[in-house]
């Protein structure tokens, strides 16, 4: 494909979902005098993978007042829903049984898009994913999949993680089968599943919940089985969202993971003895993690991810009451079954055109075989950039401009979100934000955490000097 040079900009942002759009919003609020170019295949900003859905059943999983984008206006999204978008009037089902508002996810994307459009910041959108990044004198050259190319003085990686991959051993007939859905978020993916199909879903988290809701909305009447190692489902919200204060450094010392876990368990027991809910304690942990996580060694962080992450995820990433009710009804009717176990193999029975899936139930030595007409992979995206199929990451790794973190969560950055190369040196003008930085910052998945991070990054970008005009490594290689 021919590359077309479309000009220059002060800042290029790879990824125009919430992370990238939030960065632009905070740069505008900082009155940064910058021209910005987004590389976003959807062609519109603020939606990304999470909020690019028109399905009204796909709801945000926290109350609207907790989707805080601006620290000085924490309920701005709620006010937009009530007074600008009229969500209560046009979407009566948005009001949950707990009295809180859970708008459709697409509404949040529209809110971010409108807030960004209201700021007089020069923004260009390249409607394509970035494919190649090269260091040049005084900045970077970015080339998109559609052939467009531009030069930027600075660059921020705000990508989402890589596309989901099917990690289990399969026979050749399973690969590419039309009813093996590796990515349920692809347009019309669920349309390949028959309404009477016996469906087996890998994963029991938020994506599974969205998949079940989507199938039932399409009139699915066949049985659905969801399987994960522990069979844990996302938990419900409570009545209170005020975090219980947790001292991240009791006695002036940061507790290690084991001691911190004992503190949390003690607080949960205390809350139960007082007749309080557990959710405010988890919110307190969430608030304390940005201080505690960076103090832990990589070995301690790896141990936490291995042993505690599944339990943290189900308590931290909770479901809206509306979606919880759908799952509860499906389970009570017997249509939805949740199994705790490990996948030991997947094959296709060609005589019946059905899948045979070996599952070893948790606590058992013997594997059982389950049959299914359709398979859906809901274990989530690939966070390890070394396994990513994205040519952008593979190219950056090959050029040693970035380095994968040792936890397999994204890229290596410093505390200011500056990207580190393979020699652990800061790459001038190159930054990363959002989920790609979890190895360093821990909890960078929710809207409030990403908004706080991008607000801080906007000040770093405004303050940092521009990359010096000199021969870049890419230019040096081209001269050899």
Q: Are 413 and 425 a contacting pair, CB within 8 Å?
A: no
User: Is domain 180-235+318-377 given the CATH code 3.50.50.60 in the classification?
Assistant: yes
Q: Is 40 helix (H, G, I), strand (E, B) or coil?
A: coil
Average pLDDT of the residues in 415-423: 96
Cα Rg for the chain, rounded, in angstroms? 23
Q: Are 218 and 239 a contacting pair, CB within 8 Å?
A: no
Residue 6: what pLDDT?
65
Residue 205 CA: distances (Å) to CA of 233, 291, 317: 6, 27, 9
Whose CA is closest to 450, among 68, 93, 178? 68
Residue 55: what pLDDT?
84
Question: Hey, what are 352's tokens?
Answer: 């019946």
Average pLDDT of the residues in 33-52: 92
User: Which string of DSSP letters, residue by residue, matches 216-228?
Assistant: HHTT--S-EEEEE
pTM: 0.91
Question: Hey, what are 368's tokens?
Answer: 């059982």
What average pLDDT does the structure give for the chain? 91
Quickly name the fold that domain 4-58+104-163+383-479 has.
FAD/NAD(P)-binding domain (3.50.50)
353-402 per-position pLDDT tens digit: 999 999 999 999 999 999 999 999 999 888 899 988 899 999 999 999 99
Q: Are 228 and 337 a contacting pair, CB within 8 Å?
A: no
Domain ranges of the chain: 4-58+104-163+383-479, 180-235+318-377, 250-316
d(CA 304, CA 312): 10
pLDDT band at 295 (very low <50, low <70, confident <90, very high): very high
> Does residue 247 surpass a pLDDT of 70?
yes
Residue 380: what pLDDT?
86
d(CA 86, CA 242): 26
Residue 1: what pLDDT?
36
| Other beta carbons less than 10 A from residue 122's beta carbon | 11
Residue 211: what pLDDT?
95
Query: Is the backbone of residue 372 left (phi > 0), alpha (psi -120 to 50) or beta?
Result: beta
Residue 408 CA: distances (Å) to CA of 182, 305, 386, 387, 404: 20, 11, 8, 9, 7
Within this chain, domains 4-58+104-163+383-479 and 180-235+318-377 share the same CATH topology: yes
Average pLDDT of the residues in 98-106: 93
d(CA 33, CA 167): 46
């Amino acid at each position: 494909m021919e590359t077309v040079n479309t000009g220059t900009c002060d800042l290029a942002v790879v990824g125009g979902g919430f992370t990238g759009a939030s960065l632009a919003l905070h740069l505008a609020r900082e009155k940064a005098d910058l021209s910005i170019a987004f590389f976003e295949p959807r062609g519109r900003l603020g939606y990304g993978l999470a909020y690019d859905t028109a399905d009204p059943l796909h709801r945000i999983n926290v109350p609207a007042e907790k989707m805080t984008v601006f620290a000085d206006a924490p309920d701005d999204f709620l006010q937009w829903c009530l007074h600008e978008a009229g969500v209560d009037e046009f979407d009566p089902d948005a009001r949950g049984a707990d009295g809180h508002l859970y708008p459709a996810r697409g509404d949040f994307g529209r809110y971010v898009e409108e807030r960004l459009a209201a700021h007089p910041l020069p923004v260009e959108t390249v409607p394509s994913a970035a494919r190649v990044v090269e260091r040049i004198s005084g900045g970077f050259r970015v080339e998109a999949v559609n052939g467009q190319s531009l030069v930027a003085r600075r660059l921020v990686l705000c990508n989402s993680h890589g596309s989901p991959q099917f990690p289990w051993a399969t026979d050749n007939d399973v690969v590419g089968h039309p009813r093996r859905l590796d990515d349920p978020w692809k347009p019309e993916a669920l349309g390949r599943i028959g309404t009477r199909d016996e469906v087996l879903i890998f994963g029991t988290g938020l994506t599974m919940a969205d998949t079940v809701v989507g199938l039932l909305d399409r009139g699915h009447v066949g049985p659905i089985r969801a399987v994960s190692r522990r069979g844990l489902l996302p938990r419900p919200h409570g009545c209170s969202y005020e975090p219980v204060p947790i001292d991240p450094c009791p006695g002036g010392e940061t507790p290690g993971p084991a001691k911190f876990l004992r503190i949390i368990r003690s607080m949960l027991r205390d809350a139960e003895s007082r007749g309080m809910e557990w959710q405010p304690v988890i919110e307190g942990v969430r608030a304390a993690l940005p201080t505690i996580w960076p103090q832990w060694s990589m070995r301690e962080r790896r141990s936490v991810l291995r042993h505690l992450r599944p339990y943290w995820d189900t308590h931290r990433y909770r479901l809206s009451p509306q979606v919880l009710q759908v799952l509860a009804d499906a389970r009570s009717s017997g249509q939805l079954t949740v199994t705790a176990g490990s996948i030991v193999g997947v094959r296709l029975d060609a005589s019946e055109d059905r899948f045979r899936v070996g599952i070893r139930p948790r606590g058992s030595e013997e594997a059982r075989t389950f049959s299914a007409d359709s398979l859906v992979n809901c274990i989530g995206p690939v966070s390890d950039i070394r396994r990513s199929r994205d040519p952008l990451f593979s190219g950056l790794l090959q050029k040693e401009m970035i380095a994968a973190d040792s936890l397999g969560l994204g890229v290596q950055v410093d505390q200011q979100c500056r990207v580190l190369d393979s020699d652990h040196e800061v790459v001038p003008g190159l930054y990363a934000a959002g989920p790609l930085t979890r190895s360093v910052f821990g909890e960078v998945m929710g809207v409030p955490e990403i908004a706080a991070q991008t607000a801080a990054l906007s000040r770093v970008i405004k303050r940092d000097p521009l990359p010096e005009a000199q021969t870049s490594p890419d230019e040096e290689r081209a001269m050899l």
